[in-house]
Structure 1
Amino acid sequence: MTAPAVIAAVGLGGNVGDVRHALASALAALDALPGTRLLRASRCYRTPAWGMQAQPDFINAAATLQTTLAPRALLDALLAIERDHGRERAADGSRWGPRTLDLDLLVHATAVVHVPGLVLPHPQMHLRAFVLVPLAEIAPDLDVPGHGTVRALLAEVDASGVVALEPGHAASA
């Protein structure tokens, strides 16, 4: 029996190599996942590096999906897409370094999950303009469980460093 389809949101980003090509390729890969359909993709945004700031700016985008994949299966698929695009995760577990492609499962319907390797909604997404600005472009009324709508969350953060690149969306970038 197939699971019912739900709406999931994914954050996309990178700052190494041809990031816009990687984002467009990742969107196509998301749309090709079993039981999954790409609904919307935001424009690309240039954003300052987060965490480790001594690195190039990032290009970020967001996408909404309709999927029958469970949260863990979808996350595993995102990690496989990252690897297919040359993403290498640091063996020491360090975070926020340069990357060819970063795919974050932000929201999976109303799921609230806190297990090793998977936290939903994505931790700190409600505080990060580089997540909220692109997501607000395509899903302003999306509810982030326990936090409120994307639109309301965006109103509470400083988004001055997030700059939209030319019109269009990541899929055509």
Structure 2
Amino acid sequence: MESTSPTPPVDLVRRAQRGEPDAQRELIVAYQHRIAGFVYAIIGRSDAIEDIAQLVFIKMVRALAGLQAPAQFESWLFRLARNTCIDHLRRQKLRRIFTPFAPEHENVPEPEGAVGSEELDALRHALAQLRPQDRALLALVQEGRSHAEIAVTLRTSVAAVKARLHRAREHLREHYQPNHEN
């Protein structure tokens, strides 16, 4: 679906709500890369992105009929993705608590030619210090969302979005230390 507007036409969403497989597939294709990027911004690990994104789209197809406002599809989808990521992180945390000797996969080498600078590592470390909700907020901003769109997605006020964004950025600044020698 090529269009200048990032939001799908309401009629496409309505067709998908009625269970038309082609319309559902078109929505998935239109959003697969953006959802994967959003998931990565929250989860921070590339090994889980595809599985979580796929789960988001499975949930989308199952819950689409209950979407009351098709014009709000995009906000609804990103809220669904955010909640799926947070659920994943909760399960992962519980798994770590009950399997303390499970190997961690945080030191997986990056592919040849990938950005692996100290600055990127410092940024990853700083982002890891944020709550998943704050990483989701920053990911929505990075995606180019307005404060009003983010407020709709997160079901909060624009003032709350601005305050949370300010705190998240401050927290990020506190923890971002490129070229820091230990």
Please, what TM-score do these two structures have when normalized by structure 2?
Answer: 0.30
Please, what TM-score do these two structures have when normalized by structure 1?
Answer: 0.31
Q: Which has the higher contact order (CA 8 A, sep 6+)?
A: 1
User: Which protein shows a greater Rg?
Assistant: 2
Structure with greater helix percent: 2
Structure with greater strand percent: 1
